[in-house]
């Protein structure tokens, strides 16, 4: 989108941060303009065009703005700047570097450069003179913290180009010319380490985008064991306030099998965001032994930005993820909470006087959410390498109502549903993910099942289904016990209930603040699941329900101590031996022959 002369206009109406501008020339949807406020120029985005009247959403407070104020359109869409130096940064939804800003409250109209233009990077060329390249092709790389940051042919280039020149290895700034390519018409184009891309357009610099098929290990047992997410997959975590969404996101970010972590704090601008800013820089990265923030980027809404900026933050985060995916890296993108993004859409839709859908949300809410989730995925790049974006969003339904429009719309788009249960949170059963209501549709993919059989075990799916069945039967038994009383049901009901409690306590519950239990690799998950299911298969001899309760509480305690012990250590084995002695003493006589754990 290039124009010789910039389009200008004047403000014709103001509705909070929605401004109507009467223009004197052409403009495009999502184009950026600056309104000349008396204090500072205010950045805005075109969201609706009706003849000469253009509706723009301003990313700042419009207090003091008057009808008749001039506006100038920039000739480009809302975009991000891509280049080395994005990791470890704290950005707002417009990619302003928050660390470069002064004061407790950010000044209106204060915009900062997202990159360090002075720093010199250690450049190593990858492409050679004479190579045929296209959008997304790797020209060279620079080390960014512990990650290889590939410098690519800009995504906006179309067709093929020939490399005419690549600079020698050395130190260069992001604005230095590092390569020259020639297009089909013989024109030479100089390239730097920086490029720009519109946030609401998906980056498609890849050759193939197959269905996800690899398991993404998160280290969280209730996810990996019961409802795993695939690398390049999508999932969402709905739940009421206080059910542990933020802590669960921290755990997945810290131990998830990803190279890059991007946090889009598009929701609450108080507790959760403060927690991210204060805790993330202190978290140790178990993969590198360095700080987790070194391979993390945070996109946060700031307190004085209008609610509409929440929409920009999620798109900015996804575009940064696509950029790193094109380098052949695994990206984990976490958004907290997309309910606030949907509320921003509702607010702007209402101001535009559009036809409302359920709960006054836009009629096309489902389509907007689905198209955004579709940008995640596993891809094969043009050079044969692979990259992925795994997207997990959280939803904060009002009153914990999982039937409200945002949750229902997200359920249609995401392939994994991890519903947080208020009852589980109240009883301190964390993560509070409901094992019955949650699901992973990736278990329906034959390619995922083949991967699990080859890399985890032939019997993995049958064991998982068995565990889910025991949990369901345990819930049913608990309801009967609550209605009829402990003495009103057979001992078999108590055993069913405690079998489900065994799975719950040992497999589902996990201590995110314990050094060992916080992260559970797949081999350990498999071993513990088989151990627990082996116990549920045994027939025990009990005289009363009190005996059942006391016995299961004892073995649950031992199994939990195994979770807190180093894998296969002497301490771990001592608890396991003690467990076996207890089991042998409680088995029925006819089951003792040849029965081992």
DSSP sequence for 108-160: TT----SS-SS--EEEEE-S-TT-EE-TT-EEEEEEETTEEEEEE--TT--S-
70-77 vs 53-58, strand pairing mode: unpaired
Packed helices 545-563 and 522-536: angle between N→C axes, nearest 10 degrees: 170
- By C-alpha distance, which of 78, 75, 85 is closest to 57? 78
Q: Assess contact for 426 and 462: CB atoms under 8 A.
A: no
CB atoms within 10 A of CB 482: 10
Helix (H, G, I), strand (E, B) or coil at 33: strand
Q: Where does 219-333 have alpha helices with state H?
A: 221, 245-255, 271-279, 309-325
CB atoms within 10 A of CB 481: 18
Q: What's the Cα-to-Cα distance from 54 to each of 88, 113, 216, rounded to whole Å?
A: 37, 28, 45
Report the binding-site residues for ATP: 239-246
CB-based contacts of 282, cutoff 8 Å, min separation 6: 291
Pairwise CA distance, residues 265 & 276, whole Å = 8
Region of 217 please: left (phi>0), alpha (psi -120 to 50) or beta: beta
Report the binding-site residues: 239-246
Q: Assess contact for 32 and 48: CB atoms under 8 A.
A: no
DSSP sequence for 401-416: -TTSHHHHHHHHH-SE
Distance of CA 516 to the CA centre of its chain: 24
Helix (H, G, I), strand (E, B) or coil at 555: helix
Pairwise CA distance, residues 486 & 380, whole Å = 58
Residue that has been written with the tokens 């180093």 in this structure: 566
Handedness of CA 279, 216, 338, 156 (dihedral sign): positive
Region of 142 please: left (phi>0), alpha (psi -120 to 50) or beta: beta
Q: What's the Cα-to-Cα distance from 219 to each of 80, 237, 550, 557, rounded to whole Å?
A: 32, 16, 31, 21
Q: Assess contact for 389 and 322: CB atoms under 8 A.
A: yes
Strand partners, 264: 299, 335
Strand partners, 112: none
The conformation of residue 330, written as its DSSP 8-state character, comes to E
CB-based contacts of 534, cutoff 8 Å, min separation 6: 597
């Amino acid at each position: 989108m290039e124009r010789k002369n910039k389009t200008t206009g004047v403000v014709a109406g103001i509705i909070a941060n929605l401004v109507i501008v009467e223009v004197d020339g052409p403009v495009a949807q999502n184009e950026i303009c600056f309104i000349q406020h008396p204090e500072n120029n205010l950045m805005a985005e075109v969201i609706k065009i009706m003849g000469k009247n253009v509706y723009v959403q301003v990313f700042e407070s419009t207090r003091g703005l008057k009808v008749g104020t001039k506006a100038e359109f920039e000739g480009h869409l809302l975009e991000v700047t891509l280049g080395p130096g994005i990791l470890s940064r704290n950005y707002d939804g417009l990619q302003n570097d928050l660390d470069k800003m002064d004061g407790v409250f950010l000044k209106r109209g204060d915009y900062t450069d997202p990159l360090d233009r002075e720093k010199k990077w250690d450049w190593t060329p990858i492409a050679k003179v004479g190579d045929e390249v296209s959008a997304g092709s790797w020209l060279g790389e620079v080390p960014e913290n512990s990650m290889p940051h590939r410098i690519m042919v800009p995504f906006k280039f179309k067709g093929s180009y020939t490399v005419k020149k690549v600079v020698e290895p050395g130190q260069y700034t992001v604005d230095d010319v590092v390569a020259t390519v020639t297009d089909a018409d013989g024109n030479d184009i100089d390239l730097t380490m920086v490029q720009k891309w519109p946030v609401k357009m998906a980056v498609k610099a890849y050759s193939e985008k197959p269905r996800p098929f690899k398991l993404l290990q998160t280290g969280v047992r209730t996810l990996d064991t019961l409802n795993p997410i695939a690398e390049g997959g999508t999932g969402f975590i709905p739940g009421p306030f206080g059910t542990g969404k933020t802590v669960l996101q921290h755990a997945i970010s810290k131990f998830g099998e990803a190279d890059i972590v991007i946090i889009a704090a598009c929701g609450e601008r108080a507790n959760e965001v403060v927690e991210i800013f204060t805790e993330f820089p202190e978290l140790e990265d178990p993969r590198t032994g360095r700080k987790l923030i070194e391979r993390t980027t945070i996109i946060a809404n700031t307190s004085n930005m209008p609610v509409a900026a929440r929409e920009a933050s999620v798109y900015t985060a996804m575009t940064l993820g696509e950029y790193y995916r094109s380098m052949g890296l695994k990206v984990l993108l976490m958004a907290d909470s997309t309910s606030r993004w949907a509320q921003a859409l509702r607010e702007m839709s209402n101001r535009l006087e559009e036809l409302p859908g359920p709960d006054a949300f836009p009629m096309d809410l489902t389509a907007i959410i689905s198209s955004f989730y579709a940008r995640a995925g596993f891809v094969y790049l043009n050079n044969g390498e692979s990259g992925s974006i795994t997207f997990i969003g959280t939803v904060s339904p009002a009153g914990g109502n999982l039937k409200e429009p945002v949750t229902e719309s997200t359920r249609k788009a995401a392939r994994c549903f991890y519903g947080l249960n208020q009852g589980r949170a109240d009883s301190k059963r964390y993560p509070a993910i409901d094992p019955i209501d949650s699901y992973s549709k990736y278990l329906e993919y034959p390619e995922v099942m083949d991967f699990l059989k080859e890399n985890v075990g032939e019997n993995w799916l049958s064991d998982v289904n068995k565990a889910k069945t025991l949990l369901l039967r345990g819930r049913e038994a608990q309801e009967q016990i609550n209605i009829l009383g402990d003495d009103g049901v057979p001992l078999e009901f108590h055993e069913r209930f405690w079998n489900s409690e065994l799975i719950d306590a040992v497999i589902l519950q996990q201590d995110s603040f314990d050094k060992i239990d916080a992260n559970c690799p797949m081999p350990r998950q498999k071993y513990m699941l088989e151990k627990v299911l082996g116990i549920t298969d045994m027939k025990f001899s009990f005289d009363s329900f009190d005996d059942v309760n006391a016995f299961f509480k004892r073995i649950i305690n031992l199994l939990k101590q195994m979770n807190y012990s180093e894998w296969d250590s002497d301490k771990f084995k001592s608890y396991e031996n003690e467990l076996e002695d207890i089991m042998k003493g409680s088995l029925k006589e006819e089951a003792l022959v040849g029965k081992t754990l």
